[in-house]
Structure 1
Amino acid sequence: MTPTPPDDTRPLTGSDLDYGPAGDADGTRVVRAGLPAEEPYEPPLPGPVFAAHYHLPGEVEGAPYAYGRDANPTWTRLERAIADLEAPEDPEAEVVVFSSGMGAISAVLLSLTRPGQTVVLPCDGYNLLAALHERLEGFGVRVRTAPTGGDAQLDEVEGARLLWLETPSNPGLDVCDIRRLAQAAHEQGALVAVDNTLATPLGQRPLLLGADISVASGTKALTGHGDVLLGYVATRSPEVAAAVRAWRKTVGAIPGPMEAWLAHRSLATLEVRTRRQAGNALAVAEALAARPEVSDVRHPGLTDDPAHALASHQMSRYGCVVSFTLPDQAHANRFLARLRLVGDATSFGGVRSTAERRGRWGGDPVPEGFVRLSVGVEDSADLVRDIRRALDASAAPESGAVADGLGGGV
């Protein structure tokens, strides 16, 4: 089972940028995205601006900064940087940053729909979509659902206002054809939003594949250090951008300037982090697939994965998450407790590897022994060795707290 990674070095088609020519490769782009013009003796990335208000002479109209809930120079730089990554060829693309990924998701679903309209959601997506499903129906919005795999949502788009895709899906790692689904939805007059959290803009660019909106939790791989909560909405539509920006202001889902600055700082290493993580994840997935006690190993980079053929055409790298199933809950808990290099924690995309038995949260339609593993930037041989050792050690039940999953992890 030999993985075939896509070509991560292909040139981008971009517009002329302040810092360099069009077509800069991703590794160059992420280092300089959103930076202001160089000034003598000034830092390349200015520090965070802490301000609840600004000096505001005259009228408000046309003022770039008037009040801290509306805008902040630190957000502006981050928004420009992410826009350059999500749509490098389109200088008109806009990004609106939020205090969390759920803030961004909620802004799209709740600001762009009205009672009597229809939204199509994946039934196997991020588990808090279920809460938004209920909220939408409470507001009089009709909700249809279908799985991600096999482009099953295609059968539900007729008459819809908004089609929401999540690809690869979390936690099952199924993939759908963004271009095909977007075309079908647009024929129905529907907007198309894609949750791009797992792929990141360096792994997949939904706006270039026909989607109207790309949404992500910046908490995950975008920032990559497990120390920032952040979300964003990217779009080429001024109307969509205005709607979600107004929603952010109304509900106050604004990021702190320190969080925005930390996120921008972290972008500089996004290419090297995600490239290393993708390679490590493939090595881990191969090692897991060779184990008899492990079933249903999923990673889009594995050549025999059901999503591989589509992912290889749609994604430029396959991501850091591997999912698999152990025989039961107790077995999964024993495995997690015996890992040395992999922390027992939720979330994914960080530089340090983490894993969890996903069923402990409820809400995800997964077996009790299902494990979601986020692969970090550690040495791949060390990670594989640690995982094999933990699998060996967890093969048989033992007495005591460790066997019950109480002896390790967070």
Structure 2
Amino acid sequence: MRVETRLVQIGVGRDTTTGAISFPIYHSTAYRHPALGESTGYDYTRTTNPTRAVVEEAIAMLEGGEAGFACASGMAAIQTLMGLFAQGDHLVVSLDLYGGTYRLFEQVWKRFGLSFDYVDLREPERLRAAIRPESKAILVETPTNPLMQVSDLSALAAIAAEYGLLLIVDNTFLTPYFQRPLELGADIVLHSATKYLGGHNDVLAGLIVTKGGELTERVRFLHNSLGAVLGPQESWLLLRGMKTLALRMERHQQNAFAVARFLSSHPAVSEVFYPGLPEHPGHQLQSRQASGYGGMVSFRVRSAQMVAAFLRELQLISFAESLGGVESLCTYPATQTHADIPPDIRTATGVCDRLLRLSIGIEHVDDLLADLGQALDKALQAGGDER
């Protein structure tokens, strides 16, 4: 079956007792055993839950992995994976990185003896130079958040295999509808399922997918032992969101193309970051390793003085800190998603005070363009040009 059909059919036919099309929410934390030494397959909800199991099987199927693990948030998914490593281990991580991941690594895991190097993973030689004898993994976002940089997953997988490292890919921006990193050699895929997979700004969730039996069992142990698992109500909301993923991703992308082209021509904008644009430096690579470009667009205005005016004048698009929902949102990374990255490091990586990030929703594109146009026009009146 095609991916569109697989998404719509998630959970259908699984409840053989009632035949429910929408898989039920199992709130029970405990399950009665038929007899001593026997189990229904469910013992305690932290270990496994029927509703959560449907989500986990679905994401494993979509990504082409051995197993899926549903966590309480995207950060809980990353935290669970950090249990794979021990004091003294080293990881090479994307230079352009979600600020929450950077905060977790720098302010939490460094205290427990892990070390991290942040590298532009678009350049394989920089990756090779960063690898140490104690290196254990490469963690990459592609496209990155928020600069939309594209790394070659097959090349990274080859280097990871050469040095005996795990390749972990954050696939939040593209989802398995557009990109399947395990097929390109990755070992682990993770998602902030709060974003596109949930799709409606109403559920907090994270997902992990593993490849290979031994690695899968290690993650299964950590998932159960650490206990940052997804609850049944949230699992059901995620299931419902995933059923429409194909439709939503196509509309997100269609609108994003139009927005990116519009921004590229507006006098208030100095630079646009969207891999779907032919002039984007990662466009050809993205076209080879994925089937789409997603709905995230970042851009720089010409002056930092324009930012406040632009955000104030937005009427349809909400100034809010998230992405991937049906509603369009605008984020200011410098004070929101990347606020915990020191200003000098943040600026050096390109997350400057003129950068804005759009999560393009599924509204009518003409309304989106009209809102952006009037807000940018008024921002332009704020003056300044710091290019």
Q: Is TM > 0.5 for Structure 1 vs Structure 2? A: yes
The answer to whether 1:240 aligns with 2:225 is: no
Paired residues of 1:34 and 1:79 also in contact (CA < 8 A)? no
CA displacement at 1:56 relative to structure 2: 2.3
2:68 counterpart residue number? 95
Paired residues of 1:333 and 1:357 also in contact (CA < 8 A)? no
CA displacement at 1:219 relative to structure 2: 0.2
Task: Determine the C-alpha separation between the residues in 1 that align with 2:326 and 2:37.
Answer: 43
- Give 1:125's match in structure 2, choosing from 76, 92, 97: 97
1:74 counterpart residue number? 51
1:140 counterpart residue number? 113
The answer to whether 1:301 aligns with 2:281 is: no
The answer to whether 1:392 aligns with 2:377 is: yes
Task: Determine the C-alpha separation between the residues in 2 that align with 1:97 and 1:240.
Answer: 16
After superposition, the C-alpha distances for 1:29-75 in whole angstroms (9 at most, x for unaligned) are: 21013433475963212221001111124456765111121110001
Q: What secondary structure does 1:337 align onto? A: helix
Relative distance call for 1:34 and 1:177 in structure 2 (3 A) is: farther
Amino acid at match of 1:305: H
1:283 counterpart residue number? 258
2:178 counterpart residue number? 203
Paired residues of 2:13 and 2:19 also in contact (CA < 8 A)? no
Q: What secondary structure does 2:139 align onto? A: strand
Relative distance call for 1:38 and 1:116 in structure 2 (3 A) is: closer
After superposition, the C-alpha distances for 1:99-124 in whole angstroms (9 at most, x for unaligned) are: 0000101111x211112222111121
After superposition, the C-alpha distances for 1:208-244 in whole angstroms (9 at most, x for unaligned) are: 0100000010000111000000001101223322222
The answer to whether 1:263 aligns with 2:238 is: yes
Report the aligned-residue RMSD: 1.9
Relative distance call for 1:246 and 1:41 in structure 2 (3 A) is: closer
Relative distance call for 1:199 and 1:155 in structure 2 (3 A) is: farther
CA displacement at 1:137 relative to structure 2: 2.5
Paired residues of 1:97 and 1:232 also in contact (CA < 8 A)? yes
CA displacement at 1:309 relative to structure 2: 1.1
1:367 counterpart residue number? 352
CA displacement at 1:129 relative to structure 2: 2.0
After superposition, the C-alpha distances for 1:380-404 in whole angstroms (9 at most, x for unaligned) are: 1221122111111222239xxxxxx
After superposition, the C-alpha distances for 1:76-103 in whole angstroms (9 at most, x for unaligned) are: 111111111111xx6xx20010000001
Paired residues of 2:175 and 2:196 also in contact (CA < 8 A)? yes
Paired residues of 1:281 and 1:321 also in contact (CA < 8 A)? yes
Paired residues of 1:214 and 1:233 also in contact (CA < 8 A)? yes
The answer to whether 1:156 aligns with 2:130 is: yes
TM-score (norm 1): 0.86
After superposition, the C-alpha distances for 1:227-277 in whole angstroms (9 at most, x for unaligned) are: 000001101223322222322323321111010001011111000000110
TM-score (norm 2): 0.91
Task: Determine the C-alpha separation between the residues in 2 that align with 1:301 and 1:141.
Answer: 36
Relative distance call for 1:244 and 1:174 in structure 2 (3 A) is: same
Paired residues of 1:122 and 1:153 also in contact (CA < 8 A)? no
Task: Determine the C-alpha separation between the residues in 2 that align with 1:250 and 1:38.
Answer: 28
Task: Determine the C-alpha separation between the residues in 1 that align with 2:36 and 2:95.
Answer: 48
Task: Determine the C-alpha separation between the residues in 2 that align with 1:306 and 1:164.
Answer: 21
Q: What secondary structure does 1:149 align onto? A: coil
Paired residues of 1:80 and 1:94 also in contact (CA < 8 A)? yes
CA displacement at 1:357 relative to structure 2: 1.4
Task: Determine the C-alpha separation between the residues in 2 that align with 1:377 and 1:397.
Answer: 30
Q: Decide which moves more: 32-41 or 288-297.
A: 32-41
Question: What fraction of aligned residue pairs are identical, expressed as a percent?
Answer: 36
Paired residues of 1:203 and 1:317 also in contact (CA < 8 A)? yes
Relative distance call for 1:37 and 1:63 in structure 2 (3 A) is: closer
1:64 counterpart residue number? 41
Task: Determine the C-alpha separation between the residues in 2 that align with 1:243 and 1:137.
Answer: 22
- Give 1:335's match in structure 2, choosing from 285, 310, 316: 310
Task: Determine the C-alpha separation between the residues in 2 that align with 1:228 and 1:154.
Answer: 39
Task: Determine the C-alpha separation between the residues in 1 that align with 2:329 and 2:317.
Answer: 5
- Give 1:225's match in structure 2, choosing from 200, 221, 226: 200
Paired residues of 1:148 and 1:167 also in contact (CA < 8 A)? no
